[in-house]
Structure 1
């Protein structure tokens, strides 16, 4: 096993453990906060989430500058520590402390994910980026599977006392620390960007950081990045939908099962299965992706998501996102198995989009991978914040309509960039072949002249 592929596996394990802890905490956060409110704790989970996304989106612009000091490994370690601190605050419930930790988490998340994308790019080339993106995504999404499974078997319909809360948070912190140990074990990989290192050596650290910020802004204004931003935006909308709105909608639909809350846990597991299978499949098919392009997989993800939106539209009532409801959708009564099928499709379609976005950013934008991944997370987090706002005001049908419209726009824009990249690569290949033919012709002429000269002398 080569050093770079070993790093991909270590990176995957690090994020799997770190986000197993964080995803599980997110799943039980409402229950934990409700149990603490009985002790006079008044912090609101939605406010905490809004702070996280606001800090996340703003700090993504500063992430490239931060990485110019710390490098991707240092950024992931520092950012990962903020996830541990956020979970730790639930042991000492203070409103101001939770909100402060939420802001730190948003900032930490920006450098964690920018560092991850940059490091993944450094460990890959144009032939391995699709495979590595798929493998990493599958390992990362195992966290969603394990987290939901943990919640389903341990905390479903149970109150969390002070003792159990301390035990649970202690276990989650230990799992997160295990993830940090894996990230600390990453072996250094040299930067594969082709910037002028001699010019960089003559600049101080502040100038380098400022140049990174300017470079991110210049990249953001390019045609390809403007088009891809629509794809990034859609992934933020559908991420917030399947990670928050969909589960709540199932849980509030009382006629879907005797205990709808149990279906919520199963839906999370099926979303995780879809993510893992999708990421693993595209990792195995990485060589095919390199040969035929990324656009077929993204188009497949769009079709799968469109079908899942239709199934959800038919199966769940319009007021399902808000509160417990006796209403039903067009299918009466709602079908639990159909809700799980739609959950799996949401996860699989999300894997289609995200693995190919990682492949695109790590392969096409290799010269500015830090800025590219920062802009991806910035746009995605802005979309998630917007979705978080309107999801508490719009019915399920309106939300599904928004998702469908942006899925069409995002898929179309991704394909435009991918097709343009294919044309560029084809043109470069043609020019290289013409150059080689000219060189061969010139060499043959020189050889003929040399042979003629030799014959004449003889």
Structure 2
């Protein structure tokens, strides 16, 4: 009896896992998630860059002298400080970005990343991500610029996360855990791709790939964001029309609708 109960429990659990896996697979292949996938992949590639490539490049740049080992550790701390600052500022500005469009928040984050990529390009030697080198860079080696780049990478990373998680919650309010799991799956693909090419491509080529991926991610995010806002407006107008049909005075329903539409981006 116990054996049968145990087998039945395992079967039910496995069946539940299969159902969850099927739902997540369908969600991952849905149109909104496919449009957001370039952004997910870019975030994984960018994470690999600041966690692995950029710190390695700092340590391999011999012109930093005795500071280069210290800069490798400081890079992680400064990136973390940038993420904390970005999360704090974006958290306080969440309602402001929601009214004016979450795509504005990701655009600002993308521009901050581009600024960081430019600083990395002009301050570090081309081959610094692959081997120790004492080659000259376009600008004089400056540890302060290197740390500014680290801070921008962390701040921009938070700028991508906050609007994205807000959008995922809007798209899948009843199953945000599955949506986040899909995001992590695509992000892991970006990690894998970035780790693969980071062992053979010099720094300028890696930065160029990140720029292209970032633009593609922003483009896909904008399409999904605009569609989500449009659906919210349509749903609200439909609700207002339903209320108006049930009320004897249409002015009351109109005032209720106008109250909410002032906080909705058209």
TM-score w.r.t. length of structure 1: 0.51
User: Relative contact order (alpha carbons < 8 A, sep ≥ 6): 1 or 2 greater?
Assistant: 2
- CA shift at 1:442, angstroms? 7.8
- CA shift at 1:416, angstroms? 0.8
Q: Which of residues 184, 191, 200 is equivalent to 1:377?
A: 184
> What's 1:439 paired with?
246
> What's 1:131 paired with?
none
Q: Following the alignment from structure 2 to structure 1, what is the Cα–Cα distance between the partners of residues 76 and 175?
A: 35
Matching of residue 422 in structure 1 with residue 229 in structure 2: yes
Deviations 1:250-291 (A, max 9, x none): 111111343211122222221111100000111222222333
1:163-242 matched pairs, under 5 angstroms = 204-242=12-50
Q: Following the alignment from structure 1 to structure 2, what is the Cα–Cα distance between the partners of residues 257 and 435?
A: 71
Q: Following the alignment from structure 1 to structure 2, what is the Cα–Cα distance between the partners of residues 442 and 275?
A: 51
Q: Following the alignment from structure 1 to structure 2, what is the Cα–Cα distance between the partners of residues 257 and 338?
A: 15
> What's 2:214 paired with?
407
> What's 2:54 paired with?
246
> What's 1:275 paired with?
83
Q: Following the alignment from structure 1 to structure 2, what is the Cα–Cα distance between the partners of residues 428 and 348?
A: 34
The 8 Å contact of residues 230 and 413 in structure 1, kept in 2 or not, is answered as yes
Q: How many residues are treated as equivalent by the alignment? A: 242
Deviations 1:424-450 (A, max 9, x none): 001111111111112113899xxxxxx
The 8 Å contact of residues 116 and 152 in structure 2, kept in 1 or not, is answered as yes
> What's 2:260 paired with?
none
Matching of residue 304 in structure 1 with residue 112 in structure 2: yes
Deviations 1:375-399 (A, max 9, x none): 1111111110121121111000000
Q: Following the alignment from structure 1 to structure 2, what is the Cα–Cα distance between the partners of residues 443 and 412?
A: 40
Closer/same/farther in 2, CA of residues 443 and 315 from structure 1, 3 Å limit: closer
Larger Rg: 1
User: Aligned to 1:441, what secondary structure does the other structure show?
Assistant: coil
> What's 1:328 paired with?
136
The 8 Å contact of residues 42 and 217 in structure 2, kept in 1 or not, is answered as yes
- CA shift at 1:292, angstroms? 2.6
The 8 Å contact of residues 257 and 336 in structure 1, kept in 2 or not, is answered as no
> What's 1:18 paired with?
none
Matching of residue 286 in structure 1 with residue 104 in structure 2: no
Q: Following the alignment from structure 1 to structure 2, what is the Cα–Cα distance between the partners of residues 334 and 240?
A: 23
The 8 Å contact of residues 245 and 321 in structure 1, kept in 2 or not, is answered as yes
Q: Following the alignment from structure 1 to structure 2, what is the Cα–Cα distance between the partners of residues 443 and 325?
A: 75
> What's 1:198 paired with?
none
Q: Following the alignment from structure 2 to structure 1, what is the Cα–Cα distance between the partners of residues 67 and 148?
A: 18
> What's 1:347 paired with?
154
Deviations 1:269-319 (A, max 9, x none): 211111000001112222223333311110000111111111111111110
Q: Following the alignment from structure 1 to structure 2, what is the Cα–Cα distance between the partners of residues 254 and 415?
A: 42
Deviations 1:129-188 (A, max 9, x none): xxxxxxxxxxxxxxxxxxxxxxxxxxxxxxxxxxxxxxxxxxxxxxxxxxxxxxxxxxxx
1:6-405 matched pairs, under 5 angstroms = 204-331=12-139, 333-405=140-212
Q: Following the alignment from structure 1 to structure 2, what is the Cα–Cα distance between the partners of residues 285 and 273?
A: 18
- CA shift at 1:368, angstroms? 2.7
- CA shift at 1:220, angstroms? 1.4
Q: Following the alignment from structure 1 to structure 2, what is the Cα–Cα distance between the partners of residues 289 and 377?
A: 24
Q: Following the alignment from structure 1 to structure 2, what is the Cα–Cα distance between the partners of residues 301 and 257?
A: 32
The 8 Å contact of residues 231 and 414 in structure 1, kept in 2 or not, is answered as yes
Q: Following the alignment from structure 1 to structure 2, what is the Cα–Cα distance between the partners of residues 416 and 208?
A: 33
Q: Following the alignment from structure 1 to structure 2, what is the Cα–Cα distance between the partners of residues 443 and 401?
A: 57
Unaligned runs of 5+ in 2: 1-8, 252-266
Greater shift, 243-252 or 359-368, is seen at: 359-368
- CA shift at 1:370, angstroms? 2.7
Deviations 1:22-72 (A, max 9, x none): xxxxxxxxxxxxxxxxxxxxxxxxxxxxxxxxxxxxxxxxxxxxxxx9xxx
User: Aligned to 1:366, what secondary structure does the other structure show?
Assistant: coil
Deviations 1:330-352 (A, max 9, x none): 11x31111111111100000000
Closer/same/farther in 2, CA of residues 443 and 288 from structure 1, 3 Å limit: closer
